[in-house]
Structure 1
Amino acid sequence: MANFSRHDKHRSLKALRWPLIWTRAGMIGERLVHALWPLFSVVLLALAALMLGLQDIVPIEIVWASVVLVTLGALAALVFAMRRFRLPSREEAIDRLDASLKGRPIRALMDEQAIGDTDAASTAVWRAHQARMADRAAGAQPVAPEIRTATRDPYALRFVAMVAFAVALLFGSVWRVGSVADLAPGSVETAAGGPIWEGWVEPPRYTGRPALYLNDLEPGQLEVPLGTLVTVRLYGELGALTVAETVSARVGEVPPASDPVQEFTIRQAGQIEIAGPGGRSWEVAVTPDAPPTVSRIGDVEAAALGEATIPFTAQDDYGVEAGEARIALDVASVDRRYGLSLAPEERPQLVVGLPVPLAGSRADFQEALVEDFSKHPWANLPVTLQLSVLDSAEQNGLSEVEQLVLPGRRFFDPMASALIEMRRDILWNRNNTARAAQIMRAAAHRPADVFRKETTQLRVNRLIRRMETLARFNLSDEMQEELAEELWGLALTIEEGDLADALERLERARERLEEAMRNGASPDEIAELMRELRQATEDYLNQMRRQAELDAEENGDTGAQQQQNENSMTMTQDDIQRMMDRIQELMEQGRMAEAEQALQELQELLENLRMSQNGQQGQGQNPGQEAMDGLADTLREQQGLSDQAFRDLQEQFNPNAQAGDQAGNEGRNGNQGRGQSHEGQGGQGEGEAQGQGQNGQQGQPGQQGNEGEGLAQDLADRQQALRDELRRQQGSLPGQGSPEGDAARDALERAGRAMDGAEDALRQRDYAEAIDNQSRAMDALRDAMRNLGEMMAQQEQNGQQGQGMVETDQQTNNRDPLGRDSGGEGGIGSDQNMLQGEEGRRRAQELLDEIRRRSAETQRPEEERDYLKRLLDRF
């Protein structure tokens, strides 16, 4: 380094020539952008307006005023550019390049030794320093220009101009720019007198194709869909331009060819010609609109309770709009014996709408019609089925007529089956009423053999007498329907029994087992009584489930509420099963005292279940509390969906992470989470998911993408179902007209809009946006609950019924998954002192530090870091 000479110094500086040139060129471009962006914005806005043809649809005064404004704006922008733009000097370029290097080596190379040049040691140190600076300068690279103008254009006006210009390129025409010249002085007469024309081709909206501007199309071949609308406007002297066409197939009175405004629809292939100065012609080819097709796929499936599933597939080139299934009685295939020997009464065809996809393509899809035909007069009889679909052009597509037996519910109890058969005969022909009464009297002549309860026998006898009385007269349609409905209800009661019967058998079995345990019965006797108790308990729970389903149908409960009731009943049945296994284990071990205590606990559990069921049936007595409970359930469901969306967001950015590793998470694959499995399909069971984990199988990348799409659509469907439930709750919200009630309705409106936004974001797999909308929905739900609570408190102060017991129940229901009491007014969190003092502050600080650390990691996706920053802003 001590041998570093002046020649070496000049050679090092000379090597910086090209990096310096490129740096200076970048500075020139940078200053041009900073100086000329206003001028570019004005020019782009003016071009966009001209290309969109705004000068042709606004008054001439506005056009000239706009020209003046654009000219003044352009001049001001030009003056601004001239004042701002300065060519960068060589020294400025050297400073920028030198600032990009450590220690500013270029300036060090250009320096001279000020003192000690006569001292050999000092000179050696100086040359060693310059040699090191030369090594650093050798790695100099051109500095990229800083062309961002956000600080100079805080309102993003340049982007407004660019978007307007892009819209003009897509939907406008460059040819329209020249039309502004016709507005100049001296050319108005020429424009008004000269023959010119304009034309548009607009395909039907359902095709999804854009409109075309005929002036932009060269003469030649033109292919358009059937039903396209053509509009032609002629300007100038009448008759100078004419329109001739052979595509509309119009007959009768046709407007003159020189009419200034002509519209016609393309119905066939042919020619369109505009004759005269500047005229053109096109050979039109028509793309036909094929009618839709529909067909049934697979067999018709019938559920145990009579619900029918008819799968079908439908296709159309542009999409199916609607469809229906037509079912007619196949009289020729009916076994015309007994009550069916008479001629059937005339009944209209059974018409049921076919389901079509709410989202996605309707061009080719598969769906299933699910309907319960059990109560229809043709249930379990031969019928004909024909499916039909309709497209947007109102073309109808029909399937082949198929013969099948209309699925209906089957009854296995002999007396119930007989009642259903008599019901069918009466609906087949009302003249069968006397015969049906006679058969029912014969079937019930030994009541002890066919009836389990005396009340059922009395109901059947009363119905037989009524039928015998009505058979002497002509039955009206209302009487016929009343008889059919009563026969159906009696058959269900006999087939399924009722809740009181099941409870009575359960109490009797429990008392017998308890007495046997006290009296020291033999193991065989206790085992037999235990089997009886298990059977009675199962019957009782099944009756409760059926009763809940019937109540849900009568009260119009939604599918989500029915699903929640079924899940609650399943969990209770599992608890009872485990408790009964425990009782049997204790008895086998000879621990009768503990077994008797466990039997008492079982009785209390069943009593609580019955009281809970009665409480749910009686919720309608308090509309305010019922609405509060419904909103609380909706809030919990929305919180669960938000947790699942957050878990999916984490796994989207870190797919190799352990999925759902928190015990209380609402996401998927948690230790105790209640979501679905991530490794399998949405409905995969626990054992199947565990089997995959043990085998170590992993899906392929394409499969993971499909599963991610399916999970997102599943979340979106659940969000839509929750939105529908909220809409139902809005319709039954009490307190209309009161300030608190109106405020609650406004809050629910905000929650509904946020849920709609969350659903759209989930269908696009934008989890971050979905989580934001779900958070807004939860905030709005809390506001609604707070307003509803204030309204109920106001009513209580006004002397209405007290809510002491209801408040106690509400406190029980408002516990979070960790067993803590949630905050007041439905807020998320707890009013309890959970982590106070130094420990709580330390843990909170650790969480904040971890969020800050992750938000600062640039290798993380931008969406995740934005979400973490929003968390920091919120907390």
Structure 2
Amino acid sequence: MTESLPHLRFPILATFAGIVAERLVRAFWPVWTILFLMLAPLLLGVHNDMPLEIVWTLAVAGLIGIAVFTWRGWRRFRWPLRAEALARVDARLPGRPILALGDAQAVGAGDPASEAVWIAHLQRMQDRTKAARYVSPDLRVSQADPFGLRYIALLFLMVGLLFGSVTRIGTVAQASPVGSASTAATGPTWEGWIEPPAYTGKPTLYLPDLDEDRIEVPEGSRFTVRFYGDIGALTLSETVSGRRADELPPASDQHQVFDALQQGELRIDGSGGQAWDVSIVTDGIPSVELTGPALSNAEGQMTLPFRATDDYGVTGGSATVSIDLAQIDRRHGLAIDPDPIAPLIVDLPIPITGDRAAFDEALIDNFSQSVMANLPVKVRLEVTDAKGQAGQSVETQMVLPGRRFFQPVARVIIEQRRDLLWSTANAPRVAQLLRAISNRPDGFFRNETHFPMVRGVVETLEAKYEGGLTDEERDEVAALMWDLAIEFEEGALADARERLQRAQDRLAEAMRNGASAAEIQELMDELRDATNDYMQMLADQMDPNENSTDQPDGGGETMQFTQDELNALMDRIQEMMEEGRMPEAAVLMEQLNQLMENMKMTQGEGQGGPRSPGQKSMEDLGETLRDQQQLSDDAFRDLQDQFNGGQQETEQRPGETPRDGDGTNGDPGQQNLADRQEALRQMLEEQRRNLPNLSGDEAEAARRAIEQAERSMDRAEDALRRGDMAEAIDRQAEAMDALREGLRELGRAIAQSERDESGQGQQQGDQTAQAAPRQSDPLGRQLGTEGQSGTDQNLLQGEDIYRRAGELLDEIRRRSAELDRPEDERNYLRRLLDRF
């Protein structure tokens, strides 16, 4: 029947092949599952590290399993019939048309009308067979393999193929204790490996590949040697493991493993044997040294830089701080012998990623609550390597930094706390002094809770010292005294700081969500009040002319900005918010936050000295931005000269270099525009190389922006040399935008670095916080807080900036609408309107 329907041949043949595959999978899936499980360890060479008996036992078991399941599968497998494939294809068609084509007319035979209907029915069935498609086989055996063993075996095989080698399969025959036929024919063979300790990062060496008679290996390397063939045909002798004669295994052992601990000889005697002189590369002891003095901030956080090295890498380290009694001024509470003072031991920071063989780091910690704070100590650093070897630094004498206290009562409490920790014998003296300062509390205690807190400490001491203070009781009282000193020092200041932060957060939220004029006024009033209160608290609690009795003199610093300048900055923020210029207001708000944060960070620190690298980079980039703006102005005037037929404008802008009518500089020795652009690009490249080593997203954004400015300058130079002034001006504008972005991000990165690493050293340069003057571009728009644009002269010359900005915009619109102007000039003017 199907011979007359050739379009059915392929669907039936493909379906037949699918049925064959389906029955093969269901009958023989255990066979290849066992085969995969056997091949995977052979590919990985696992058999080389297993006893021969186990290897061959597993191999025989696997082969038996393959034979059993092959026999069982062959019994279950049944070759399909063509009719089965035909029926499966027919079942997918509506009405089973293939089966219908084989039917015969049972009723109405001989009736022309009935026969015509039957013929039409057969034709319709035949047409339906044209839609026949092969039926995909069902290869699922999940019912027979509910645990997915076939997938596990396949996974093992893939791991073996990825991380193993097909050549290792052949070595299983060499694992025979009696030797294979090939071994008997070719004689005994051997192989070996040298595995250096994992921490060295050195690769494994294959002994048969080493042609040299002398080899160097790291100390502790593991040697593995295997013999194949008759026992005794090959023997091993070695002197590198340092084992005694009674500890050595028989020289003919087929599998020997030992570690190289000393210089010596390794020899394999027998057919194809070899010998090597083995040298040991000893693992060096790590070293560590201080690379600078200990730096600290007003909060007492210490930063101690150091450098550590090791031939393979440092794995850990610690710093030990011990009291230096010989250097202490033994007066007052320190006159008596101290109680035993345990050294402080803290872990050194180790890089999580990167090279640990040599690195620079800094120990950052706060020891303000230790009895050794602000006293002479000895510091020793120690680092260890993976082998457990330790290296120490030279013992260094220093004064251990501690928190600085400025409030008089707080300073007294901290000093007495130190004396109590120095020796419990000082307890009566400490109690008497605290009782004395609290005798007349008027003028000493701002908060009504302070007096009872001091008296509570006194009563606790007096109740306990008569029977002798235990270490736990002493530490308990010391903790109370620390909290009390912090309350005196920071109580009111903390409230003012929290109020200031809350006002800043509320104003920032208003900038993001929009606020009415009344809400803006209310929020700005709150910010002004909080700022005034905070500055007053700082002034009240900081006494730069008075030295603490329990710590070295650190000097003081005057914050170099006035209240009027702060008010001017806040007025500008309010003005921008009321005009709806929220992004620009947010920039100024960030500047205000940085000013207040810098005031907290530099409180009590010394001033003077050279500029910091960050300040120098900011100033240099600002100068480059101004030079680029001047160059862009000159290029724009050249473009105007081209459009106006070389006629020069009669008015000279402020700060403009005199020019003659041909569009060149009046000074014949001055470089042309392209050369000036190239010089600026080279200057910016040098400034980028000299950027301070800052980390974080802001620093990376600054570097990317400066690199973008360099690329734009390079394109501008190329356009200038081609005489395409419009293109050059566009590229110069891109360079200036990138420079401004770089300045903003660099300023944020420097501020973030100062916040994150506050107190890590005496800050270089004058730490000033001055409200930036209002800076505007030629259209009267606020530039923000970073960088400058244009010349240093006042372009507006006292005129109302908004009126002047409107006049300039109107003039640009008028000129862009004049059809008689060149199309290039009108395109440039339209770009100006789109930008501004």
Fold match (TM-score > 0.5): no
The TM-score with structure 2 as length reference comes to: 0.45
State which structure, 1 or 2, has the greater radius of gyration over its C-alpha atoms: 2
Which structure would you say has the larger RCO, counting Cα contacts within 8 Å and 6 or more residues apart? 2
The TM-score with structure 1 as length reference comes to: 0.43
